[in-house]
Amino acid sequence: MTRVRLHWRLLRLSVVILLGLLVAAALGLGERFAPRASLQRRQGLTRWFMVRLAAALPYRVRIIGELPPQPMLWVANHVSWCDIPLLGMLQPLSFLAKAEVASWPVLGWLARQAGTLFIRRGAGDAAQINQQLANHLHQGRHLLIFPEGTSTDGSSVRTFHPRLFACAIEAGCAVQPVAIRYLRDGKPDTVAPFVGDDELSAHLRRLLASDMAEVEIHLLPPIPVATLSRKAIAERAQLAVERALSCQSQEAARDAA
């Protein structure tokens, strides 16, 4: 049964990715004849794709809190590549990824077509990146970053790098902290984390072979940038995410009762 389920899920996911590629290709083709596809259109199509991708993952998703009505800089803890479709389905969002992603086969191209912004680790182009991110927010588009700079197993939160928060101050838009938590039978899920040297295809098979599990997406109260320094904002956001992750899932327990 498990094998049948794995293959069925793999097939479903492949169909979704194929659809995504077709849409992205059409978008690319359209661009040759029409002016550059607007960011809004890219984000809209990306959300369409993310909704289908998220639906193909073996997770039940619980949204806790309210989505921000205005465009904001979303900052989330990072556990797995699954974070991207699960968050990307909520709003038309753009992501910030490390530069290597752009050169990944297939996925890199999809990411570029989706309007992803890329950052080179350790490169001295901080000011330029900051300006690029701020421009994005200025256009009234949501932007999501993973300010830990890497993924974790979800049991703790690493330091949120203040540098990436400068764009919110520059654009004068609030920061939306998001805590994402994967749970299996009420305990931290060990299948979801995609860290370090994990290999994508092996991880995918492992994930799709497992039973359904839960994901909680905590949309925490937005932080107005006001007069705060980027360091203060980063600390506040990190603290909010840590608190949300450390508190026991009381809500879930009460709802189940």
Partner 1 sequence: MNAIVDPRSTRQLRAERLEGDAALREAQALRYRVFSTEFDAKLQGAEHGLDMDDFDVHCRHIGVRDLASGELVATTRLLDHLTARRLGRFYSEGEFALHGLADIDEPVLEIGRTCVTPAYRTGATIAVLWSELAEVLNEGRYRYLMGCASIPMRDGGIQARAIMQRLRDSHLCTELLHAEPRTPLPELDLPDNVTAQLPPLLKAYMRLGAKICGEPCWDPDFQVADVFILLKREELCPRYARHFKAAV
- Report the interface residues with partner 1, using CB under 8 A: 47-48, 51-52, 54-55, 57, 59-69, 89-91, 251
Q: How far apart are CA 69 and CA 55, in angstroms?
A: 24
Residue showing tokens 């969002």:
93
Cβ proximity to partner 1: between 129 and 179 the closer is 179
Terminal CA-to-CA distance of the chain, rounded, Å? 31
| Shortest Å, Cβ 63 to partner 1 | 4
At closest approach, how far in Å is the CB of 197 from partner 1? 30
Q: How far is the CB of 72 from partner 1 (least distance, A)?
A: 12
Cβ 218 to partner 1 shortest distance, Å: 10
Q: In the complex, what is the shortest distance from the CB of residue 205 to partner 1, in angstroms, rounded to a whole number?
A: 20
Residue linked to tokens 């299948």: 191
Using left for φ > 0, alpha for ψ between -120 and 50, and beta otherwise, residue 140 falls in left
DSSP 92-111: -EEEEEEGGGGGSTTHHHHH
Kindly tell me which of 49 and 160 has the beta carbon lying closer to partner 1. Answer: 49
Cβ proximity to partner 1: between 88 and 147 the closer is 88
**Quick one: 29 or 63, whose CB is closer to partner 1?**
63
DSSP character at residue 148:
T
- Give me the residues paired with residue 119 across strands: 98
Our CB check for partner 1 shows the closer of 10 and 64 to be 64
Antiparallel, parallel or unpaired: β 175-184 and 187-188? antiparallel
Q: What backbone phi and psi angles, to 5 degrees, belong to 204?
A: -60, -45
Find the shortest distance in angstroms from Cβ 226 to partner 1.
20
For residue 36, what is the enclosing H or E element? none
The backbone torsions φ and ψ at residue 229, rounded to the nearest 5 degrees and listed phi first, read -80, 160
| SS3 state of residue 183 | strand
Of 61 and 107, the one with the shorter C-beta distance to partner 1 is 61
Residue 54 or 241: the one with the smaller Cβ distance to partner 1 is: 54
CB of 158 to partner 1, least distance (A): 27
Give the CA distances from residue 76 to residues 104, 127, 130, 186, 257, in Å, rounded to whole numbers and listed in that order: 23, 22, 18, 21, 29
Tell me which residue has tokens 């309210």: 66
